[in-house]
Amino acid sequence: MKGSVLITGASSGIGLALAKRLDAEGWRVFAGVRSNDDAACVRASLSSLSEPVMLDVTDSEQIEAARALVAARTGGRLEGLVNNAGIVYHAPVESLTVQAVRRQFEVNVVGVFAVTKAFLPLVRAARGRVIVVGSISGRVAWPFNGVYAASKHAVRAMVESLRLEQRGFGVRVSLIEPGAFATSIWQKKTPPECLDTARTEAHVALRYGIAQRIVERAMDVIGARAPAPERCAAIICRALTARSPRARYTVGDDIWLQLAFSQLPPPAKDPLIAFSMDRVLREQSPKRATSREPV
């Protein structure tokens, strides 16, 4: 056995791909899931060496129960912790409810903090690795993903400090910054209850509504063209096993374009985005009458 690793958000996508890969390579995988159905599916995908663990990263009782279980199974040593769980809400900043913003940060930021805090003593005992799956959005924010990008910016900063704090204890910390990958996240639209335009002026709400549909269609296209999550899982595996792991791993087909765009100064970037959005919105807006009624 190569060691033990806990993966949050392991029921699908990158987390599941990673769990399968590590299990096949001889790791003992504790795969964090949030439902009995997910646990059954993950159990069927892994060998008898590994097991699903009920772990909602926003539930302190489940975090503690998972910590106790892993400590008992491993003798208090955990070679790898992979913080992978996350959610995304795509919407204009002002269109999201306060509750949705809190939920975004509760899962993507506080969840990473809470799980890491709970399991870090086990990782230190093994002089192991902490891996956090962030996003390329931690470096570049596009229209309609501002709150998600903000959560990933926060994660990037937290991982930076954690890496510096833990190196003296023999714990190596790496941040994974994926671009788009073919996971179920692209089929998960922002729930209607997370949106609030009741106080928004009518013309603003109309523009946002059209833009939101454009964003959702773009997400469908991106998801269909994105590479398989196994490619990102391979990078995470490298971060877990390399003798000298890198502080950051950036992976994906779209990342270089995004990073190049992020380097543009605002005087160049802002008019470019405004022009592109206005052109698309004009094409999608209801046609205005161009002829005048006879007098």
pLDDT band at 197 (very low <50, low <70, confident <90, very high): confident
Q: How confident is the model at residue 286 (pLDDT cuts 50, 70, 90)?
A: low
Alpha carbon dihedral 125, 126, 127, 128, in 10-degree steps, equals: -130
Work out how many domains the chain is built from and give that number. Answer: 1
**pLDDT recorded at residue 289:** 40
Grade residue 146 by pLDDT with cuts at 50, 70 and 90.
Answer: very high
Return the exposure string of 34-43: e unless at least 16 CB atoms fall within 10 Å of the residue's CB, then b: beeebbeebe
What is the C-alpha separation between 207 and 19, in angstroms, rounded? Answer: 42
- Other beta carbons less than 10 A from residue 86's beta carbon: 26
More confident residue, 72 or 210: 72
**88-106 average pLDDT score:** 94
- Who's near 35: CB < 8 A, 6+ residues apart? 11
Region for residue 26 given its phi and psi (left: phi exceeds 0; alpha: psi -120 to 50; beta: otherwise): left
pLDDT of residue 183: 81
Which structure tokens are listed for 93?
């900043």
Of 31-45, 201-215, 274-288, the one with minimum mean pLDDT is 274-288
Q: Which residue has the tokens 């992978």?
A: 84
Residue 269 inside a domain? The answer is no
Nearest to 218 by CA among 276, 166, 159, 295: 276
Q: What are the beta bridge partners of residue 65? A: none
Q: What CATH number did the domain enclosing 146 receive?
A: 3.40.50.720
pLDDT digits (tens, 9 = 90+) for 41-79: 999 999 999 999 999 999 999 999 999 999 999 999 999
Instruction: Note whether residue 28 is domain-resident.
Output: yes
Any domain includes 173:
yes
253 occurs within a structural domain: yes
- Put simply, whether the predicted model's pTM sits higher than 0.95 gets the answer no
Is 293 a member of any domain? no
Single-letter residue type at 88: V
* 158 belongs to a structural domain: yes
pLDDT digits (tens, 9 = 90+) for 249-276: 999 888 888 888 888 899 988 888 888 7
Q: How far apart are CA 21 and CA 241, in angstroms?
A: 13
What pLDDT score does 187 carry? 66
Beta pairing, strands 27-33 & 3-7: parallel
List, for residues 4-28, the tens digit of each pLDDT value: 999 999 999 999 999 999 999 999 9
Quote the pLDDT of residue 292: 41
6 φ, ψ to 5°?
A: -105, 130
Q: What is the pLDDT of residues 99-130, one digit of tens each?
A: 999 999 999 999 999 999 999 999 999 999 99
Range of the structural domain that residue 221 is part of: 3-257
Instruction: Tell me whether residue 183 is in a domain.
Output: yes
For residue 188, what pLDDT band results from cuts at 50, 70 and 90? Answer: confident
Q: How far apart are alpha carbons 167 and 170 in whole angstroms?
A: 5
Separation of alpha carbons 145 and 97, rounded Å: 14
Would residue 37 count as lying in a domain?
yes
**Centroid of chain to Cα 271:** 29
User: Does the active-site annotation cover 148?
Assistant: yes
Of 89, 148, 208, 249, the active-site residue reads: 148
pLDDT class of 287 with cuts at 50, 70, 90 = low
Look at residue 290 and tell me whether its pLDDT is greater than 50: no
